[in-house]
Structures are given as structure tokens and as C-alpha cells.
Structure 1
Amino acid sequence: MLTFSLVSAGANLLVKSLGFLQSVSVLRRPFIAAIPAARHFGSSMDGPPKKPKTSYMHFAEQQWPIALREHPGVKVVDLSRKIGQKWREMTPEQKRPFVEASVAAREQYNAEMEQYKAQLTPAQSAALKEERREKMAKRKASRKRKELKNLGKPKRPRTALIIFIADSFAETKGATMIAKTKTLMEVWKNLSDSEKQVYIQQAEDDKVRYKNEIKSWEEHMREIGREDLVRRTVIKVKKTASVKRGKKKSRVRTIKTKGTVKSAAGKESTATEVSKTTRKATKAEE
């Protein structure tokens, strides 16, 4: 289900992008035109002020209408690439108006944010900090996923249900992606054990594939000094195994001599009592 959720999110983002393009009016300006005045970011009634645009965002906002007019029928992705390439080829002097617009927008944002914070109650301030913390955590997780992808971390094994949905999705009728997925989940519930066995076997094979690939990948991470990316459970299991081996050796040293044994206090105890005391001490250590 995770795979299809990600695809759905991407589709929604594309729809929003198209909506933005339709709302942009066609401007007749030269390449370096006057930058529009900074817009009002919001008020305490509407929530916190929106973050200011970067210099590239100001440039892209100006270039979209021009790109649409010069390249009719070109896909949105290709237009984005053209605009990005154009930005990279610009000199610092050509970028200066957009940089100055970004600086002005940042100053306005900081001023409005201070006003906004001054009007908040302690509870609202705490909620704002928590929201900021969650956003930072999401960004950190996103950067982590990109890093692992660039380092070639193996994909996690798929379940039998996910394999079944992936194989049958194209042939399933449904108006939306979610509708198709729900239909396939109902079909999966009604399948017999023998019909599911094919996908269960594929899932087991995928587990073996993942186990072998992740082992090799983690060994490579240790070689390049990235032990921080190795699964902690693996390290923990190794440490636990070594501790258990040490405890077994201490149990082997348990006194087995018959008769009595004198302690440091001068008391006499039987070997059985000494053995019990040793076992208790060992359990306390555990």
C-alpha cells in the first residue's frame, strides 16, 4: 500500500502544479523584468505568515508564462528543466534582481513572523514549535531516504499482498487508484490458500533476496566507514551473543567441590549452598 500512496501523492502534486500554471497570466516582459512587489504573507487570523520565495522561485514565476508561450504543448517536467537550465546559465549580475527580491521578501517575512508570535498564547506557541519540529523531522527523514537511495541500499522485501496487487493492478477496473486497490484487497481475501501460494512463495524468495543483498550492503558500509547506516539490531544481537557467552563461562566456574567451604567471614557452608549463592549472583548480574 505504501507504494501506491506515494504514487497518489505524486499525482496530486502534479495536479496542483497544473492548477498553478493555469492561474498564471501571460506576461509580456523582457527577460530581466521588474520584480513584482512582495505580497502580504498573512496575519494572525489566517495563521502564520507563509515562507518567502527564494531567488529561483521569483525567477521561475516570471519565466513560466514565457516558457508556455515559447514552447506550447511541451510537458510540465520539460518546461521545468528548461527554466532550471536557463537559471544555471545566468550570470550573478543577471540573477541580482531576483536575489534582491528574495532578500526583501525574507525581511518582510521575519517582521511579520515576529508580530505573529507576539500575538500567540503560550499554548499556541507550543503548538507552533511542535509543528516546526515535525516538519524538521520529515525533512531529515526525506534527506535520509535520498542518501540511502544514492548509496544503493536494497529495497525491502514485498509482501504477498503487495506482489498480488502489483501483478493485477493494470487489469483491474476502477475509476481511481484507491478504488482499484480496495477491489484487489477484497479479491485477495476471497482467494484460496492454493491461489495465494504463488504470491507467498514469491514473497519468501524476495525475503531471501533482501537478506543476501542487505548483508553485502552493510559489509560495504562498514568498509567505507558508514557504520551509522548499519542496522542497530544486528549490532545489538552480536553484543548480546557475546555477553551470553561470557555468562556461560562464569557458570562453568561454579564450585563443585564436595564437603564444606570456608567463606571470608569464617563461616562454613556446604558446596550446595555455595553453588546456590553463585547461581543467585549470576542471576543478579543478568
Structure 2
Amino acid sequence: MAKGDPKKPKGKMSAYDFFVQTCREEHKKKNPEVPVNFAEFSKKCSERWKPTSGKEKSKFDEMAKADKVRYDREMKDYGPAKGGKKKKDPNAPKRPPSGFFLFCSEFRPKIKSTNPGISIGDVAKKLGEMWNNLSDSEKQPYINKAAKLKEKYEKDVADYKSKGKFDGAKGPAKVARKKGKKVEEDDEDEEEEEDE
């Protein structure tokens, strides 16, 4: 997973988040040597939060409101890092799926129907295992299909670039812009491939 911008303000906390934080601090004071088992701890906090009276909860609501003010103020001062990703042109051709992705599209519904209530993470895990257990010859149809889609994508990209990104541009201006920008566009494509 790509790391977010380190300068980005810390997300705002809810009343419940502050309650959990308070519980954790209490736990640390009472049992400084005992490490927190997060799953059990979350469950206990949730059970303690339910019966908490509105009056007690209002204290945490106030904390959450103050934190929201802090967050909104910091977000106003924070602009996304310079050199952040440019918006993608919605008319640009869509990148083609890989062989594995085509395989997933076919088998995902089957896994869901045979395992009702399965989580997205478990579906992905099962698909990964199934794909790894396929022989090369079993993978081949998906790989071939992906290769055909990639060829089509490359042709679409060439057509898209030859038309220029701005259909409204007049002939000579478009050609001049094209020549000047050719290298940059190629570089952009490489950057995008690295991102994914």
C-alpha cells in the first residue's frame, strides 16, 4: 500500500474514538506491563460504550467536536503535495485487465455463491490460491485473452494520442502541441505504469 502524504493532517476522531482512547489510557495505568489484545479490548470497549449515559457521552462528543474544528482548520492550510497526481482524462482508454484479473471476474461469483457471507478479503485469498494451483496450460486461455485486450488497448492509445487530447484544438496548433509534448506524454505513461 502506498503511504499517504506525511504532511496530511491526522484524521478527525469520533466521540467513540475518544472513549476508546480513554479506556486504553486507563488500562495502561492499571496494567502497565500487560500488552493490549486489540480484538478483545475493542469488544470490551464496545460493550462499555453501549450502556454509557448520554450525559457521559456528551463529554466525548465535545472532544470530537473540538477535534473536528482542529481537523477542518488544518485541512484548510494543507494543500495536496505539489507534483501530486494529475487528473486522468476520463476519455483516455482504460488499461486492460491481466490474465489473473480475467480469471477472478469469472470465478468470483462462483466463490460467493458457494460461500454465502464470505468477506471480500477471503474471496481474494481463495482466488489467489486457485490461480496459483492452475497449471500453465490452464492459465493460458486467460493470458491469451489478456494479450488480445492489451493489443486493442495499445491501438486505442495510439488513436487517442493521434487525435490529441483536446478535440477543440485547431489543426496546426494541435500538430505543434503534439510535437512539443510527445516526450512528456511518453514519460507520463511510464510513470502511470509504475504507479500501478
The normalised TM-score by structure 1 is 0.33
| Higher RCO (CA < 8 A, seq sep 6+) | 2
The normalised TM-score by structure 2 is 0.46
